[in-house]
Chains A and B, each alone.
Chain A
């Protein structure tokens, strides 16, 4: 069983919709990362958070340490947001920076 679980696996939305991607983890962590991977393969780090909430533009990430759960929200979604979004936990196994990855959520935003 993967220690980091994401849902949904696939998500299709219409432009303008509010999107939520969920991530649950079963290990103790020092931080939770949200990454974006475009079809070409390159990965961009969106957020790293260990508590509370962070916002960058139309993206919002939240984490609930007690429930071991994080969410990534996209407001006013746009076709250019189409990508794979990956949740990753760091701090498992005593390493502060070794990441354990979820399987990713493929988001498709249609115009």
Chain B
């Protein structure tokens, strides 16, 4: 079946540094990918919709200058957390929309810890 990968699976960084997370669709092309954030014991919250070749659409309350999204190819979207702070520590999950199967496949997630 379709697989979506994320890299890295976990990252620890110092406050003030930037962290890039990659999301790849491995056997299908995804014009649309999604980035979610999940805090402990809470539901997934959509951060932004990543569209190949165009600007991402951010949800209300998500700072686009802090969470930079690039979707330069049909199989890769990246999320960069700029100037990370401890409150950005969370579980970040991407998903990719397979338009042929009309379903959404989720990545395994990236656990970010900002010290």
Contact code string B86-98 (vs A, CB < 8 Å = 1, else 0): 0000010101010
Taking a contact as CB atoms under 8 Å apart, the answer to whether A86 and B43 are in contact is yes
Residue from A35, A42, A86, A97 in contact with B109 in the complex, judged by beta carbons closer than 8 Å: A42
The interface-forming segment of A15-23, A43-51, A59-67, A73-81 is A43-51
Residues A98 and B106 in contact in the complex (CB < 8 Å), given A41-B91, A41-B111, A43-B93: no
Max chain B C-beta neighbours (<10 A), residue from A43, A44, A90, A103: A43
The answer to whether A35 touches B106, judged by C-beta atoms less than 8 angstroms apart, is: yes
Residue of B nearest to A95 (CB): B49
Given A97-B32, A98-B49, A45:B43 Cβ within 8 A: no
Most buried by B among A40, A45, A97, A104: A97
Q: How large is the interface on B (under 10, 10 to 19, 20 to 34, 35 or more residues)?
A: 20 to 34
**Assuming the A-B contacts A41-B91, A42-B109, A98-B49, are A33 and B104 also in contact, with contact meaning beta carbons closer than 8 angstroms in the complex?**
yes
Contact A42/B104 with A97-B32, A99-B46, A101-B44 known, Cβ cut-off 8 Å: no
* Interface contact A44-B97, CB-CB below 8 Å: no
Most chain A C-beta atoms within 10 Å of own C-beta, residue among B95, B104, B109 = B104
B60 close to A (CB within 8 Å):
no
B58 within 8 A of A: no
| C-alpha gap A98/B51 in the complex (Å) | 13
Q: How far is the CA of A110 from the CA of B95 in the complex (A)?
A: 31
> Knowing A97-B32, A97-B97, A98-B49 touch, does A44 contact B43 (C-beta < 8 A)?
no
Question: Which of A44, A98, A103 contacts B46, CB < 8 Å?
Answer: A98
Give 21 A-B contacts (CB < 8 Å), ordered by A residue.
A33-B104, A40-B108, A41-B38, A41-B91, A41-B109, A41-B111, A42-B106, A42-B109, A43-B95, A43-B106, A43-B108, A45-B103, A45-B106, A86-B44, A97-B32, A97-B104, A99-B104, A101-B45, A102-B43, A103-B43, A104-B43
By a beta-carbon cutoff of 8 Å, the part of chain B in contact with chain A is 32, 34, 38, 42-46, 49, 91, 93, 95, 97, 102-109, 111
Listed from nearest, the 7 A-B pairs whose CB atoms lie closest are A43-B106, A42-B108, A41-B109, A101-B43, A103-B43, A97-B97, A101-B44
